[in-house]
A = this chain, B = another copy of it.
Amino acid sequence: MTTRRIALFKEGIDLELLSSGGGASEVSLQVKPSHMNAVGVLHGGAVFTLVDSGMACAIMELLRQGETCVSIEIKVQNVAPVREGTLVASSVVLHKGRTIAHVESEVRTAQGRLVAKGMGTFFVRTPVTARGEPRGS
């Protein structure tokens, strides 16, 4: 059997971190023709990449020295199809505990129209000392 190639994002996905701080971030994506899916609207993978990156940027500033974060799970709802323009994902950390952070993200057009909303959970890794204790404890 022959397989079929699905070539996506061939110009890449370039995001701009517009601002971040205090558990929030704004990240933008300028939509290009190479971001479209087979039916001519922005590929869900491009929207998700924007949301995921925006959430990570929002958490980043809350991390203490040595901590890193990775997404455990993210859900994105596609509220309206997108065909062109610049999108901005505004992400906010709802709560950051010792190991878990809850984050949400709204994606809007330059005109302020909501096109997607995401909600996710991140894991915060604390560096441990050789003795297995959280550093500084």
Contacts and interface: CB of A to CB of B under 8 A. Distances in A.
Interface of A: 1, 3-19, 27, 34, 37-39, 41, 43-46, 48-50, 52-53, 56, 68, 70-81, 94-95, 99-100, 102, 104, 114, 117, 119, 121, 123, 131-134, 137
Contacts of A99: 99, 123
Nearest to A71: B44
A94 B79 CA distance: 8
Copies per complex?
4
A16 B43 contact: no
9 contacts: A6-B17, A9-B9, A39-B70, A45-B45, A46-B49, A73-B77, A73-B121, A75-B76, A80-B95
